[in-house]
Chain A
Amino acid sequence: MAQSGTSIRNQIRTLRFRHGEMTQQQLADQIGVTRQTVNAIEGGKYSPSLEVAFRIAHVFGQPLEDVFQFVAASG
């Protein structure tokens, strides 16, 4: 998944589709942010707070590290 801007990658798009093709709006409503913020998180343009990250993982019933992965800078 091509993501730029942050060193945090995520599997939100994949997980949404595995959960009955959940829309960004549906996920946003469940975690208390706007759809645009979900879109920014998915696209790697915004790293969410720890609380929102846990909420996303909770919605998908996954451990946090299965939803978000830290990519260490090389060199």
Chain B
Amino acid sequence: MDTSFEEKSVWIQLASLVVGLGGYLVVAGLMLSNGVSALPAFVPVFAVAIVLVVGINVAGHVVAAIASRSDEADERDRLIGCRAESRSSWILGVGVVGAIMALTLSVGGIWVAHLLLISLFGSEMAKDVLQIVYYRRGI
């Protein structure tokens, strides 16, 4: 596949999100369904998820830089990034509004925190997928 360094970077970010945050949400979902609702119980799992996201990103970018020419982002990369962000940021917005509404309805903090996390995860995932689509299909 003919990919620029910037496109490889998007693939790496997507993989890190799916493995790290996706994995966290699966585990957190199982914990919540088993009645665990104390916030401290989620902290170690979340810490592992963050380490995974950072670790995959660092390792992936090192490998990508060694394996291919690491060109700087050009105007096409910037346009693709801006367009993907402008078309995916609404997901985070919906999550934030939903979290505010949940707080006014006195929903538990653990649920509000996870609603925010899911909306952040969804927004970043959508941005990465849109970027890949724009790289592959054109913009």
Residues of chain A whose beta carbon lies under 8 Å from any beta carbon of chain B = 4-6, 32-37, 39-40, 43-46, 48-49, 52
Contact = CB atoms under 8 A, between A and B. Distances in A.
The A interface, classified by DSSP as helix, strand, loop or mixed, is loop
A40 B76 contact: yes
Instruction: Give the bracket for the number of chain B residues in contact with chain A.
Output: 10 to 19
A36 B74 CA distance: 10
B40 interface: no
Interface of B: 2-7, 71, 74-77, 137-139
B87 to A, nearest CB: 17
A33 B138 contact: no
Nearest to A41: B76
B138 A6 contact: yes
A68 to B, nearest CB: 16
A-B residue pairs, 7 tightest by C-beta: A45-B138, A36-B4, A5-B138, A33-B74, A37-B76, A34-B71, A34-B4
Contact of A32 (B6, B74, B77, B138): B74
B61 to A, nearest CB: 16
Contact of B2 (A4, A39, A46): A39
